[in-house]
Amino acid sequence: MAITSANQLELLQTAEAVAREKMIDPDLVIQAMEDSLARAAKSRYGAEMDIRVAIDRKTGRASFTRVRTVVEEDAVENYQAELTVAQAKQYLSDPKVGDEIVDEVPPVDLGRIAAQSAKQVILQKVREAERDRQFEEFKDRKGTIINGVVKREEYGNIIVDIGRGEAILRRNEKIGRESYRPNDRIRAYVKDVRRETRGPQVFLSRTDPQFMAELFKMEVPEIYDGIIEIRAVARDPGSRAKIAVISNDNSIDPVGACVGMRGSRVQAVVGELQGEKIDIIPWNPEPATFLVNALQPAEVAKVVIDEEAGKIEVVVPDEQLSLAIGRRGQNVRLASQLTGLDIDILTEAEESSRRQAEFAERTKLFVDALDLDEFFAQLLVAEGFTNLEEVAYVDLDELLSIEGVDEGTAEELQARARDYIEEQNRKATEAAKAMGVEESLFDFEGLTPQMIEALAKDGVKTLEDFATCADWELAGGWTTVDGSRVKDDGILEKFGMSLEDAQTLIMTARIQLGWVDPSELETAEAEEEDTEEETEE
Task: Give 490-535 pLDDT, tens digit per residue.
Answer: 888 888 788 888 898 999 999 888 888 877 666 655 555 554 554 4
The residue length of the chain stands at 537
More confident residue, 197 or 368: 368
Same domain, 15 and 32: yes
Longest CA–CA span in the chain (Å) reads 119
Q: What is the mean pLDDT of the chain?
A: 80
Q: State pLDDT tens for residues 349-365.
A: 887 888 888 888 888 88
d(CA 469, CA 460): 9
3-state secondary structure of 521: helix
Residue 63 lies in a domain: yes
d(CA 109, CA 1): 6
Where is the domain boundary, 153, 175, 207? 207
At residue 5, the pLDDT reads 40
- Percent of the chain whose pLDDT exceeds 90: 9
Residue 286 lies in a domain: no
At 34, which CATH number?
3.30.1480.10
Same domain, 145 and 126: no
Same domain, 63 and 153: no
At 183, which CATH number?
2.40.50.140
At residue 435, the pLDDT reads 92
Same domain, 121 and 155: no
Residue 27 lies in a domain: yes
Same domain, 147 and 119: no
Whether pLDDT at 157 is above 90: no
Residue 301 lies in a domain: no
Torsion 254-258-261-262 (CA) sign = negative
d(CA 396, CA 462): 38
Cross-strand bridge partners of residue 202: 167, 193
Where is the domain boundary, 110, 131, 152? 131
Residue 91 lies in a domain: yes
Across 180-184, 333-337, 422-426, least confident range: 333-337
Same domain, 158 and 116: no
Q: Which domain holds residue 61?
A: 5-131
Same domain, 188 and 107: no
d(CA 362, CA 365): 5
At residue 537, the pLDDT reads 47
Nearest Cα residue to 476 out of 501, 452, 450: 501
Same domain, 25 and 103: yes
Q: 244, exposed or middle or buried, with CB in 10 Å at 0-12, 13-18, 19+?
A: buried
Tally of domains in the chain: 3
Q: What are the CA-CA distances from residue 286 to residues 289, 304, 308 (Å)?
A: 5, 13, 17
d(CA 502, CA 471): 5
Residue 50 lies in a domain: yes
The DSSP letter of residue 67 is E
At residue 109, the pLDDT reads 63
Whether pLDDT at 274 is above 50: yes
CB 175 within 8 A of CB 238: yes
Same domain, 70 and 152: no
Q: Does residue 106 have a cis bond before it (omega within 30 degrees)?
A: no
Q: What are the CA-CA distances from residue 197 to residues 22, 25, 29, 35 (Å)?
A: 19, 21, 20, 21
3-state secondary structure of 58: coil
Query: In this structure, are strands 240-247 and 277-282 parallel, antiparallel, or unpaired?
Result: parallel
Same domain, 111 and 15: yes
Torsion 172-174-180-184 (CA) sign = negative
At residue 464, the pLDDT reads 92
Same domain, 66 and 161: no
Whether pLDDT at 277 is above 50: yes
Residue 472 lies in a domain: yes
d(CA 103, CA 521): 62
More confident residue, 422 or 533: 422
Residue 148 lies in a domain: yes
At residue 50, the pLDDT reads 80
Where is the domain boundary, 183, 207, 231? 207
Same domain, 122 and 149: no
Q: Which residues of 152-171 are buried (b: 16+ CB within 10 A; e: fewer)?
A: eeeeeebebbbeebbbebee
Torsion 223-224-227-230 (CA) sign = positive
